Structures are given as C-alpha cells and as structure tokens.
Amino acid sequence: MKYGLAFAILAVLIAIYAIRNGGWFYLLLWPAVSFALVSVAYLFASVSVFGKLPNGTLPLGRSILLAPFLAYLALVWHIVRYFSREPAFNQLTDTVFIGRRLLSHERRSDFDHIVDLTCEFSEPPALRSLGYISFPTLDGHYPTTDTMRQRVARVAELDGTVYIHCAQGHGRTATFAIAYLLHLGLSASVDDAVNYVLERRPDAHLNRTQYAMLCSIHNGG
C-alpha cells in the first residue's frame, strides 16, 4: 500500500508540474503515466501491470510505457548492488541457494534452475538460458496461499541445484524460502524457518503481511 501511495503522489506531482509549465515539459507526462501505472499495480496488488512473460522478459510495449520507472528502478538497484557488502547469494540447503538478482556473468555453472520472483525486471539472458522459472511477485507482497503452495511444491520437485531470487534477495526471497522449508518439513514452525533463513542471509526480512501469510500456510489456512 505504501509503495502505491508514494508512486501515486509522485505521478500526480509530475503531471501537475508538466501541465503548469507546458511546452517541452509535457514530455514529463510520460514518467507521470509510468509511475501512475506502477501505483495501480501496488494499490491493487496486480503484477499484470508489468506483464512479465514466462520467458523472463517484459513485453516491448510495457517496457516502453514503463521506461521512466524501470530506469529509476535499475539505477537504484545498481547503486545498492555496488555499495552493498552483502553476498550476492547464500546457501539455504544442500541444493538451494537464495539471493539477489544476478548479472549474467554471476550465474554459477552449477545452478541448474533459476527461480525468479521479480515482476519488474527482465531476467538477464544467462539466467534464463536453462531451467528458468518465473513466479512474478510485487516487491513487499506475496501470492495467495494456494499459489504459494503450488509454487513451492513445484520447486521442491526440481532435480539439481536451485537458485531463488528477487531484486535484492530480501523480502520476497525470504518469504518463498520460508514457505519452502515449511513445505519440506525442515522447520517445525514459521519462527524456526525465519531464524533459519536469517542465519544464512541476515539482511533478509519479512513484513507483517508476509509473515501472516506464512502462518496461514503453516496452519493449513
């Protein structure tokens, strides 16, 4: 909700500035529309705004329409990646690793499958070349409990080494990793699973709604 409101306010401010100044400033209506659409995605929990395809790419039309937001997002992501001292990924189990979105040259040769939880990024080519699975999820959000169960069950059936990631390897990745541990019975409770994940990736975190969803899954809701 907070992302949706923030982007909506920004979109309105940009639009007002463009209309008041006119002329070339009307070009600012493009980023205004871009951020307005993203606000709709977050206010209504709709990943369809981004339209991410099963092959891990964003459609050309969406990429153009959302280009101002995507450019802003890419800049922030690269700045965080550059200055962060956090490892790109950490090992969760013998065959599962969790972390941030990787660049093409960062993919390990023994990663047999890539599970991409982002809806706002096109996946780098090397990461979607083999064994790629896309589960588009909004930052700070989560799928329905039934969808999460289905997704986790699918990953649990994969053979080989699996790499699970979102943008920074924090909220969405931690939520999925915890659901995965609970599905396999590797943790007795949600809190045990949270502690297990945080021991391996300390900067990962959950918000209250993600935690509540995991409790619902664990309790059979």
Q: Are residue 113 and residue 206 in the same domain, yes or no?
A: yes
**Pair 186, 106 in one domain:** yes
Same domain, 119 and 182: yes
Same domain, 65 and 128: no
Pick the last residue of a domain from 80, 107, 128.
80
The number of C-alpha atoms within 13 Å of 177 and in the hemisphere containing its C-beta is: 36
Q: What does the pLDDT average to over 184-209?
A: 95
Instruction: Inform me whether the pLDDT recorded for 180 exceeds 70.
Output: yes
Residue 127 and residue 214 in one domain: yes
Q: What does the alpha-carbon distance between residue 214 and residue 76 come to, in Å, rounded to a whole number? A: 29
On whether both 125 and 70 belong to a single domain, the answer is: no
Same domain, 189 and 100: yes
- Position 116 pLDDT exceeds 80: yes
Q: Given a cut of 90, is residue 221 above it in pLDDT?
A: no
Residues 49-74 have pLDDT tens digits of: 999 999 999 999 999 999 999 999 99
Point out the domain boundary residue: 80, 101, 120. Answer: 80
Same domain, residue pair 190 and 127: yes
What is the average pLDDT across 28-47? 96
Residues 64 and 135 in one domain: no
pLDDT at 11: 96
Same domain, residue pair 17 and 95: no
Does residue 1 have a pLDDT over 90? Answer: no
How much is the average pLDDT of 8-15?
Answer: 96
Given 34, 56, 80, the domain boundary residue is 80
Calpha distance 42→61 (Å, rounded) = 20
Strand partners, 97: 91, 163
What per-residue confidence (pLDDT) applies to 220? 77
Task: Please check whether residues 97 and 126 belong to one and the same domain.
Answer: yes
What is the pLDDT, as a whole number, of residue 2?
A: 83
CATH code at position 213: 3.90.190.10
> For residues 82 and 157, what is the distance between their CA atoms, to the nearest angstrom?
35
Q: Are 177 and 152 in contact (CB under 8 A)?
A: no
| Structural domain boundaries enclosing 95 | 88-218
Count of domains for the chain: 2
120 and 44 within one domain: no
DSSP the chain: -HHHHHHHHHHHHHHHHHHHH-GGGGGGHHHHHHHHHHHHHHHTT-GGGT---TTS---HHHHHHTHHHHHHHHHHHHHHHHH--S-SEEE-SSSEEEESPPPGGG--TT--EEEEEESSSPPPGGGSSSSEEEEEE-TT----HHHHHHHHHHHHT--S-EEEE-SSSSHHHHHHHHHHHHHHT-SSSHHHHHHHHHHHSTT----HHHHHHHHHHHTT-
Determine the pLDDT at residue 66: 97
